[in-house]
Amino acid sequence: MTVPKTRRSLVVASALSLTLSIQPHLTARAFAQVVVYDPSNFSQNVLTAARELQQINNQIQMLTNQAQSLVNQGKNLASLPISTLAQLQSTIARTQSLLSQAQNIAFNVQGVQTAYSSTYGTAAGTSSNATMFAAAQNRWQNSVGAFEDSLKVQAGVVGNISTNSSAMTSLVTASQSASGALQAAQAGNQLLALQSQQLSDLVAVLAAKGRADALEQARVTATESQGQQQYKIFSTRSGYQPGNVTMFRSN
């Protein structure tokens, strides 16, 4: 079936008219989608973004520094993981125990005064023979006991050397590996405490040795005084008085 020529012409004309009416709208929309490039505006945007990025980096670095500072503060406040206090106290207690075992005359001012007033000094040569002999025996025992006490204290102090050496090694190692100021200070304080303990051992040895020497010198002096008194008693005696002696008894 064929469309009449006149009608077909009308259809074509209508289509052309519709196309021409739509074309201006499509052209305007196409021009509206075109991006306009502004170099100065683009550069300003890039600079702004760079500045913001730098600020963010600065803030990140500041937070990192603060975190590291807190970590360092934590290390400085950390305590030393070892302590030799109990070990040092035990060593000092052993030395004090040896000193407290002093025989006859203890390390006591009142006890020394009492012993000297009764056994040494002027009292040594102003008594009877029996009393002087007993005092001489007592002085000899005091000297022998004092020398024994001195040797025991010296032996105890020598025994502490190995213990002190172990403590010193541990403290030096801890000091060298300290992670913070507090640990280093505590290690130094404990090393000073160890040094004080060693000095106290030295004082104990000197005291025990000095005690023994002093008692021996006092014994020698008292013996001289006693000898003078005994000679005085002997020289003032009267001559020999004969008497009757019965050797055999009669039944």
- Residue-wise pLDDT for 163-191, tens only, equals 888 888 888 888 887 777 888 888 888 88
Q: Answer for the pair 71, 179: CB distance below 8 angstroms, yes or no.
A: no
Distance CA 131, CA 108 (A): 25
Residues 6+ away with beta carbon under 8 Å from 99: 107, 153, 204, 207, 208
Distance CA 134, CA 245 (A): 31
Q: Answer for the pair 147, 103: CB distance below 8 angstroms, yes or no.
A: no
| Tally: H helices and E strands in the chain | 6, 0
Band of residue 66 on the pLDDT scale cut at 50, 70, 90: confident
Q: What are 100-123's pLDDT values in tens digits?
A: 999 988 888 888 888 888 788 665
Distance CA 89, CA 66 (A): 42
Query: How large is the average pLDDT for residues 196-221?
Result: 92
Distance CA 10, CA 20 (A): 16
Q: Answer for the pair 215, 141: CB distance below 8 angstroms, yes or no.
A: no
Q: What are 132-175's pLDDT values in tens digits?
A: 788 888 999 999 999 999 999 999 999 999 888 888 888 888 88
Q: What is the pTM of this model?
A: 0.62
Q: Answer for the pair 174, 243: CB distance below 8 angstroms, yes or no.
A: no
What one-letter code names the amino acid at 114? T
Q: What are 82-94's pLDDT values in tens digits?
A: 888 888 889 999 9
| Rg of the chain, C-alpha, whole Å | 55
| Residue owning tokens 């290690």 | 187
Question: What DSSP assignment string belongs to 44-77?
Answer: HHHHHHHHHHHHHHHHHHHHHHHHHHHHHHHHHT
Q: Answer for the pair 127, 237: CB distance below 8 angstroms, yes or no.
A: no
| Mean pLDDT for the chain overall | 78
Nearest Cα neighbor of 132 from 224, 235, 215, 237 is 224
Task: Specify the pLDDT at position 172.
Answer: 85
CA atoms within 13 A on the CB side of 85: 8
Burial class of 184 by CB neighbour count within 10 A (0 to 12, 13 to 18, 19+): middle
Q: Quick check: 31 pLDDT over 50?
A: no
Task: Specify the pLDDT at position 44.
Answer: 84
Task: Specify the pLDDT at position 23.
Answer: 53
Query: How large is the average pLDDT for residues 55-75?
Result: 82
| Count of C-beta atoms within a 10 Å radius of residue 79 | 10
Task: Specify the pLDDT at position 248.
Answer: 57
